[in-house]
Amino acid sequence: MSSTQIDLFAGFILIAIGFVLLAVILIAHKYIDAVEGCLENCSYIKDNKRVWSSAGLLGKVMRGGIISMVLIMPGMHAKRGLVDVQELNRLPSRYRYLFTVPFITGCVLLAILVVLDVVEKYLL
């Protein structure tokens, strides 16, 4: 595989990351209030809502990212008393899917981009 092919593939990965970011923005704008309503006893979620609620769309995206991290690693947050595990378990699976899949997809695409950079620098 030549350097040009790797660069082209990296460009496609960057475009895919852009689509994921657009999806994150749309999901946060549309669903953040509903998800926070389902997690009203989680102090971490309430505090972050208070901090980021006046930041507009950026605040919604930040709150969505925080909720994604809580859904991906509930044990770590529950151990510190930041979230109510029973509320997390009652959260509809649709919301879990909407907030975790774009985050994981973005992480995977970013990892692929890093691997492509390493391959281009050290193996070609």
pTM of the model: 0.89
Q: Quick check: 83 and 77 in contact, CB under 8 A?
A: yes
Strands (E), the chain: none
- Which tens digits make up the pLDDT trace of 71-97? 999 999 999 999 999 999 999 999 999
| Reported confidence tier of residue 123, pLDDT bands at 50, 70, 90 | confident
CA dihedral angle for residue 94, residue 99, residue 105, residue 107, rounded to 10 degrees: -150
Q: Quick check: 20 and 102 in contact, CB under 8 A?
A: yes
- Which tens digits make up the pLDDT trace of 55-77? 999 999 999 999 999 999 999 99
Q: Where are the domains of the chain?
A: 3-123
State the helix-helix crossing angle for 43-52 and 56-72, rounded to 10 degrees: 160
- Please, which residues have CB within 8 angstroms of residue 91's CB and are 6 or more apart in sequence? 35, 38, 39, 71
- Which tens digits make up the pLDDT trace of 4-46? 999 999 999 999 999 999 999 999 999 999 999 999 999 999 9
